[in-house]
Structure 1
Amino acid sequence: MSGHNKIAIVNSSSFGKIFPDHLKRLQQIGEVQKFTFDSAIDGKTLAEELKGFNMIIASVTPFFTQTFFDHKDELKLITRHGIGFNNVDLVAAKQHNTIVSIVPALIERDAVAENNVTNLLNVMRKTSLAYQSVVQDKWEERAQFVGHALGGKTVGVIGIGNIGSRVAEILHYGFRCEVLAYDPNKEKVEIEAFGARKVALDELLERADVICICASLTDDNYHMLSTEEFTKMKDNVYLSNTARGALIEEDALIHALEIGKVAGFATDVLEVEPGRADHSYLDFDSVIITPHTSAYTMECLEEMGNKCAADCERITQGLLPNRAVQSSSSYLN
């Protein structure tokens, strides 16, 4: 069986590096190769580059579009080394019998939620700026690093699913925040279980001192925070995004930073990744960007890698992977 399997690891900078056992497991079932593509590669080119590979371990980029599937030879599996699958066209995958699977939500829950709060506190307390002043031997300038407390603030959490619900718990129970949650897919009673209160988006925008963005990206919420939404926010609001960059219209946020509407912005994601050093966000001292590392804990990466390897193993046995978001395929017995 193993002779027929070719496994591509695509744009994942971490898979197999920290836990080589994950790579060994794959090598036992077939040939394994790593690829790094430009995040904007077109579908046809991507399909040609991955010719002959019938399993893919995929990162947040590139995009596996209808065009990709139309030109791709036999592809049994795309397993996401992560939880979001907005870069895979599920309808096209189904047409072409490709199973698409993700890691179980709980694997990433603590790691991503903790990073949302870590980055938020960094900006609110000017931690990185203060550290740089010490490195530059300017300890005496410490009075310019007076920040804001998180404790007791009104915080809005946008998206109260797997990650957002944990952010709500941390902020409500740990920081005594009043947590307002906006999530059209969650019932009031479910949201209250995490110490938050279900509100409409407008109420959240108008009342929150701090906004944490934890929503999955869909066709419906692309650029959900744009000029109109920033206008509704309180002056000197803080934002932290560990979800997807495209939930925010970048130009609108840049304007809000310029006029001081947004006091600080922490983000682990950008609309176009990888981000570059000339990104306009970096013109502001009040912004911190991390390179999509919210899931990068040893604990999380070990479990994520285990899951991707297990998905590939299951496919070779004719079994459906767990957590398949596209689960119909003629390739399975």
Structure 2
Amino acid sequence: MPKLVIASASYGIHAQEALKQLSEVFDEVKRTAFRTGMREDEVLREIGDADAVILGGGGPITRGVMERARGLKIIARHGIGLDNVDVNAATELGIVVTYCRHTGEEISVAEHAVALMLACARRLVEADRCVREGRWRDRVKLVGVELRGKTLGIIGLGAIGREVARIACRGLGMKVVAYDPYVPDEVFEKLGVRRVGLEELLEESDVITIHAPLTLETRGMLSRERLARVKRGAILINTARGAIVDEEALYEMVMKGHIFYAGVDVFSEEPPSRNPLLKLERAVLTPHIAAFTREGLYRMDMAIAEDLVKFFRGQRPLHVANPEVFKKRLRATWLR
């Protein structure tokens, strides 16, 4: 029977049924932890001769890792982002990659983004400290802003961005604009969202929220120059990937008051031990937990288990990130 490495700390905690399903397929299951920025030899040591890996946010699993981990046949990404997997290399090498797209993760992440918007707009973390530290009189300094009637700018109108748009329009009464060159006009029209260019979005939006994947195109997208174009007094929310934003420039913009507040769930290096954003008072920081709800994790865990069971019983998984791999010579010879 095959071997599985679970390199995601949260996998299975809220879905014991998923672990039970996997135990029926895998002879050996090893739990480990991948941190961000691991060397290839470190990743290889943890993978060993495993047939499958459930991958959280660490790693990455590079071409070099896959070439040397000759037993590896499938990588199941415990999340939506694929920036820590070389998907092109996996395809060339006949390794199937699955992910949690269309498993309902967008609901949890969207709600977290909206929670950060509200926490920033009403300065809730500062207010909490005020009460705990006995500084009741300081409440007069904690004047926030309303969201109703304001303009929300969404960068990336995929599943998460669309869910945020629905909540903002219907629940908060916000006007919504979005930038996404890959989404057709009919999606914008159906949501009641106005299509704009990136620069226009930055200049016009009272709240900006990022929901784009980390790619060569989006890495550093919100550079110092672009952050300088953000509307004065805006709120910036990032639940996508830290490397999309110039964090040093964001720190400076908040310190100057050009950007009113930042709500950040993701960082260029995790954990963010030396990140300048840690020094900000006007920021709400969370430890990459946007997808961490009981419901969201349950759906993701079960989807991964079902895909792995299908795969090792000779069927194609449902949530494949690289479907073109099935035109290649698969390492999983039973699927040829």
Global fold match (TM > 0.5): yes
User: The residue matched to 1:94 in structure 2 has which SS?
Assistant: helix
Q: Which amino acid aligns with 1:48?
A: R
Are residue 139 (structure 1) and residue 136 (structure 2) matched?
Answer: yes
After superposition, the C-alpha distances for 1:124-178 in whole angstroms (9 at most, x for unaligned) are 1011111121122333322121111111101111001100111111112222211
Post-superposition offset of 1:113: 0.5
Identity of aligned residues (%): 34
Are residue 196 (structure 1) and residue 175 (structure 2) matched?
Answer: no
CA contact (8 A) 2:176 2:194 kept: yes
After superposition, the C-alpha distances for 1:272-305 in whole angstroms (9 at most, x for unaligned) are 11223x4310211111111111111111111101
Q: How many residues align?
A: 328
In structure 2, C-alpha distance between the alignment counterparts of 1:72 and 1:243, rounded to whole Å: 29
CA contact (8 A) 2:34 2:56 kept: no
Post-superposition offset of 1:213: 0.7
Q: Residue in 2 aligned with 1:304?
A: 300
In structure 2, C-alpha distance between the alignment counterparts of 1:201 and 1:141, rounded to whole Å: 38
Counterpart of 2:248 (choices 226, 248, 251) is: 251
CA contact (8 A) 1:269 1:292 kept: yes
Counterpart of 2:228 (choices 201, 226, 231) is: 231
User: The residue matched to 2:321 in structure 1 has which SS?
Assistant: strand
The alpha-carbon distance between structure 1 residues 243 and 201, as it changes in their structure 2 partners (threshold 3 A), is same
Report 1:1-333 matches (<5 A).
3=1, 5-10=2-7, 12-30=8-26, 31-276=28-273, 278-327=274-323, 328=325, 329-331=330-332, 332-333=335-336
User: The residue matched to 1:211 in structure 2 has which SS?
Assistant: strand
Of 19-28 and 289-298, the range deviating more from structure 2: 19-28
In structure 2, C-alpha distance between the alignment counterparts of 1:330 and 1:176, rounded to whole Å: 51
CA contact (8 A) 1:188 1:197 kept: no
In structure 2, C-alpha distance between the alignment counterparts of 1:308 and 1:101, rounded to whole Å: 8
The alpha-carbon distance between structure 1 residues 230 and 36, as it changes in their structure 2 partners (threshold 3 A), is same
After superposition, the C-alpha distances for 1:15-73 in whole angstroms (9 at most, x for unaligned) are 12232222222122121111113321122331233111110001122111111112112
CA contact (8 A) 1:59 1:81 kept: yes
Q: Which amino acid aligns with 1:152?
A: G
In structure 1, C-alpha distance between the alignment counterparts of 2:175 and 2:121, rounded to whole Å: 17
User: The residue matched to 1:105 in structure 2 has which SS?
Assistant: coil
CA contact (8 A) 2:210 2:240 kept: yes
Of 46-55 and 134-143, the range deviating more from structure 2: 134-143
TM-score (norm 2): 0.94
In structure 1, C-alpha distance between the alignment counterparts of 2:39 and 2:68, rounded to whole Å: 11
In structure 1, C-alpha distance between the alignment counterparts of 2:268 and 2:189, rounded to whole Å: 31
Of 298-307 and 67-76, the range deviating more from structure 2: 67-76
In structure 2, C-alpha distance between the alignment counterparts of 1:190 and 1:326, rounded to whole Å: 24
Q: Which amino acid aligns with 2:267?
A: L
In structure 2, C-alpha distance between the alignment counterparts of 1:176 and 1:101, rounded to whole Å: 37
CA contact (8 A) 1:48 1:72 kept: no
User: The residue matched to 2:261 in structure 1 has which SS?
Assistant: strand
Q: Which amino acid aligns with 2:320?
A: A
CA contact (8 A) 1:44 1:67 kept: no
In structure 2, C-alpha distance between the alignment counterparts of 1:173 and 1:273, rounded to whole Å: 34
Q: Which amino acid aligns with 1:196?
A: V
> Which structure 2 segments of 5+ residues have no match?
none
Q: Which amino acid aligns with 1:261?
A: H
CA contact (8 A) 1:42 1:68 kept: no
Post-superposition offset of 1:257: 1.6
RMSD: 1.4
User: The residue matched to 2:269 in structure 1 has which SS?
Assistant: coil
